[in-house]
């Protein structure tokens, strides 16, 4: 039912978008994909260490949703946040440098992969505590309402966050106070090795919205247009003061939970089925089939993106380590 409705939304979204808009979606998804592939390579070469969670496969969710926002709107996310951070406009250079732990990284090398943060661009952080971002999203919404500002908060979290009290506490209060928050659950069926049906008492996660008296919708998270259409509605509603929404984007992470997880708990057949539904390839196909894009122009874009990623890696490699004189700097404000 829900899927039928949002398919229609996707068609409508496609009709309202021009070629430049579609190319922009394509470029941004490709940027995230190639960024993540390079991160994997750098990780296996020991240039990036620690715990690192890739977003490959889920690009349509970040891009579709964040492109429904204005620059001044806020995004808050999880430890699987490279994609959201890039989509919010943070430069691939400073994100890559942060993953390398370098002084030029978004957090000066202090946070690494799981704690990206760029308040200037209103990317309000990745949170390596599952469910940790949701109460903060409520606080961002509260501040917006208090100051009578027009902004909206887009809060991303995984299916694994739903069992945390923080999810329920946050949706309840955001609804009660009609806060301008769009909650986006990236349902990729697994929280680490645990399948959704072993962790959550109902499989249709968007239906939790009913209990908290807000609209809830499930979208195909492999279709950037469908995500975008649903996000436009939810963002408009939030901006008009009508309160929060819950979007469940059904998606799939192509890799294991983190760089050290071979994902042996997942059937390979299942992985293949999702790879065939790749959000980037399918947008490309659609643009060409429906004569909404030019093959040569797309090839050019692809080259451009590859150059941006090369540049980001070179920048990160050449950047200095953070100075040892700053071991305890930034624990408090100066």
Ligand X SMILES: Cc1ncc(C[n+]2csc(CCOP(=O)(O)OP(=O)(O)O)c2C)c(N)n1
On whether the CB atoms of residues 329 and 112 are closer than 8 A, the answer is no
Q: Please, what is the minimum distance in Å from the beta carbon of residue 128 to ligand X?
A: 5
Q: Which is nearer to ligand X, 138 or 161 (CB)?
A: 161
Q: Specify the stretch interacting with Mg ion by CB under 5 A; choose among 99-107, 115-123, 126-134, 155-163.
A: 155-163
Subset of residues 77 to 136 that bind another protein, contact rule: CB under 8 A: 101-102, 109-115, 128-131
Beta-sheet pairing, 153-158 with 74-78: parallel
Q: How far apart are CA 252 and CA 250, in angstroms?
A: 7
Q: Which is nearer to ligand X, 188 or 245 (CB)?
A: 188
Q: Please, what is the minimum distance in Å from the beta carbon of residue 266 to another protein?
A: 12
Tokens coding 205: 């996660």
Distances (CA, A) of 126 to 114, 116, 323: 6, 5, 24
Q: Does 256 engage in binding with another protein (CB under 8 A)?
A: no
37: buried, middle or exposed (CB in 10 Å: 19+, 13-18, 0-12)? middle
Q: Does 304 engage in binding with another protein (CB under 8 A)?
A: no
Q: Which is nearer to ligand X, 151 or 278 (CB)?
A: 278
Residue whose Cβ sits closest to ligand X: 158
For every residue of 108-159, DSSP letters joined together read TTSSGGGG--BGGGTEEEEESSTTTHHHHHHHHHHHHHHTT----EEEEEEG
Those residues with Cβ within 8 angstroms of residue 115's Cβ, 6 or more apart along the chain or in another chain: 79, 107, 125, 126, 127, 128
Q: Does 158 engage in binding with Mg ion (CB under 5 A)?
A: yes
**Contact positions vs ligand X (CB under 6 A):** 80, 128-130, 158-161, 186, 188, 190-192, 257
Q: Does 188 engage in binding with Mg ion (CB under 5 A)?
A: yes
For another protein, the binding residue among 1, 15, 327, 333 (CB under 8 A) is 327
Q: Does 328 engage in binding with another protein (CB under 8 A)?
A: yes
Q: Please, what is the minimum distance in Å from the beta carbon of residue 276 to Mg ion?
A: 20
Q: Please, what is the minimum distance in Å from the beta carbon of residue 237 to ligand X?
A: 25
Beta-sheet pairing, 190-191 with 194-195: antiparallel
Q: Please, what is the minimum distance in Å from the beta carbon of residue 191 to Mg ion?
A: 5
- 259-293 burial, b at 16+ Cβ within 10 Å, e below that, comes to beeebeebeeeebeebeebbbbebbbebbeeeebb
Total residues at interface with another protein (CB under 8 A): 37
Q: Please, what is the minimum distance in Å from the beta carbon of residue 204 to Mg ion?
A: 15
Candidates 153, 220, 210; CA nearest to 188 is 220
> Residue 248 binds what, of another protein, Mg ion, ligand X, none (CB under 5 to 8 Å, by partner type)?
none
Tell me, residue by residue from 204 to 243, as one string, x for binding to another protein by CB under 8 A and - for no binding.
----------------------------------------
Torsion sign, CA atoms 62, 65, 67, 71: negative
Q: Please, what is the minimum distance in Å from the beta carbon of residue 206 to ligand X?
A: 15
């Amino acid at each position: 039912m829900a899927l039928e409705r949002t398919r229609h939304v996707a068609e409508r979204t496609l009709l309202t978008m021009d070629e430049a808009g579609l190319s922009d979606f394509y470029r941004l998804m490709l940027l995230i994909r190639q960024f993540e592939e390079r991160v994997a390579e750098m990780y296996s070469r020991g240039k990036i260490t620690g715990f690192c969670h890739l977003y490959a496969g889920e690009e349509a969710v970040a891009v579709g949703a964040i492109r429904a926002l204005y620059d001044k709107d806020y995004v808050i996310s999880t430890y699987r946040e490279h994609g959201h951070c890039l989509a919010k406009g943070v430069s691939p250079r400073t994100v890559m440098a942060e993953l390398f732990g370098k002084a030029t990284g978004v957090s000066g090398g202090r946070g690494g992969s799981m704690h990206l943060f760029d308040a200037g661009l209103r990317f309000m952080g990745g949170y390596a505590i599952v469910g940790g971002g949701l109460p903060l999203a409520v606080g961002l919404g509260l501040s917006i309402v208090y100051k009578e500002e027009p902004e909206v908060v887009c809060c991303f979290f995984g299916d694994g966050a739903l069992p945390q009290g923080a999810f329920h506490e946050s949706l309840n209060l955001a609804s009660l106070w009609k806060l301008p928050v769009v909650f986006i659950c990236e349902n990729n069926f697994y929280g680490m090795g645990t399948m959704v049906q072993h962790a959550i008492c109902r499989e249709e996660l968007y239906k939790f919205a009913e209990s908290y008296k807000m609209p809830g919708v499930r979208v195909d998270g492999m279709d950037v247009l469908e995500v975008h259409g649903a996000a436009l509605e939810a963002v408009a509603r939030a901006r008009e003061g009508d309160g929060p929404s819950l979007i469940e984007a059904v998606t799939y992470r192509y890799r294991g939970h983190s760089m050290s997880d071979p994902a042996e708990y997942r059937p390979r057949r299942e992985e293949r089925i999702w790879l065939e539904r790749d959000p980037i390839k399918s947008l490309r196909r659609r643009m060409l089939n429906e004569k909404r894009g030019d093959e040569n122009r797309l090839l050019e874009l692809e080259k451009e993106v590859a150059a941006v990623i090369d540049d980001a890696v070179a920048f990160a490699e050449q950047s200095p380590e953070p100075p040892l004189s700053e071991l305890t700097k930034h624990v408090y404000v100066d």
